[in-house]
Amino acid sequence: MGESLKKFAGVQEMGSIRDLIRFVWSTLSAHELFYGHGTDNAWDEACHLVLSSLKLPWDVDNALLDCRVTQAEKERVAEFLQQRVVERKPLPYITGEAWFMGLPFEINAKVLIPRSPLAELLQKQFDPWIDQLQPLRILDLCCGSGCIGIAAASVFEDAEVVLSDIDAEALALARRNIERFGLQDRVQAVESDLFDQLAGPFDLILTNPPYVDAEDMDALPAEYRHEPVLALASGEDGLDCARRILAQSGGYLSEDGWLVGEVGNSIDALLDAFPGHPFILPDFEWGGSGVFILSAADLKQEES
């Protein structure tokens, strides 16, 4: 018997997929775990864990849940439990997949797990915050897996999209995601320290840069410690990257362009650091906060 199966011996007693989900749910609930990397509760996480370990779609027919599971399948569930409960890995790093704006992305531990509230703004094409947005060139700055830029390409079907990141391994994954969605003809990936290797102008710059401040970095739950520090930490007040982006974006936007950035709970520090900036701060219906919108005209005016 494998080590994981010894630790989670109750898995052996389970007969059906439905039994396994119930067992995983009570095991997850009995431990102090952090949720927020794709699911926000133990039940959803148990369903995802079991179904993906059995390579079943998450909207599997209810009748199939009564099928019996094999010994190999029980072992795989026990191995997933070991990683989730003992190692505190977020589930998408175990399954290799995460969903963003309803799209399934390949994920590994070289990139942040997609969860940006920008998904909601994209799905609504920025309505009502930006009037009739029809960008032809979009930049996803600090792209990680490429989730934001690829989602933008799926919403704005006529746009060319550049994904860029400083990390070569993140970009390798972003390129696989471009291929996964068959978008090679209009989405490209460029390695760059912010704007260093990029050529404007862009009609829309979307960015979810690192923005966790030093105090929050010290207090992160164990699950976040599996994510790359480069994707999270951004100096004492969390704004090292955001400051550079605000200083440089104006030079890379078209005249009618827009900058949309996420800084999460560093938004108060941003508003304090840039008093009087005409930030638009959208509300979110599906959860999340900490996003600002600025027009090119406002950015250029602030620079002058």
Whether residue 192 contacts residue 174, with contact meaning beta carbons closer than 8 Å, is answered with no
Sole binder of ligand SAM in the list 95, 145, 248, 249 (CB under 6 A): 145
Say whether residue 209 binds ligand SAM (CB under 6 A).
yes
Sole binder of ligand SAM in the list 27, 52, 95, 208 (CB under 6 A): 208
Site string for ligand SAM, 114-143 (x = CB under 6 A): x-x-------------------------xx
- Where does this chain touch ligand SAM (CB under 6 A) — which range of 4-12, 22-30, 64-72, 208-216? 208-216
**Please, which residue, 48 or 110, has the CB nearer to ligand SAM?**
110
Say whether residue 166 binds ligand SAM (CB under 6 A).
yes
**Please, which residue, 37 or 74, has the CB nearer to ligand SAM?**
37
**Please, which residue, 82 or 116, has the CB nearer to ligand SAM?**
116
- Where does this chain touch ligand SAM (CB under 6 A) — which range of 15-23, 54-62, 160-168, 245-253? 160-168
CB of 109 to ligand SAM, least distance (A): 12
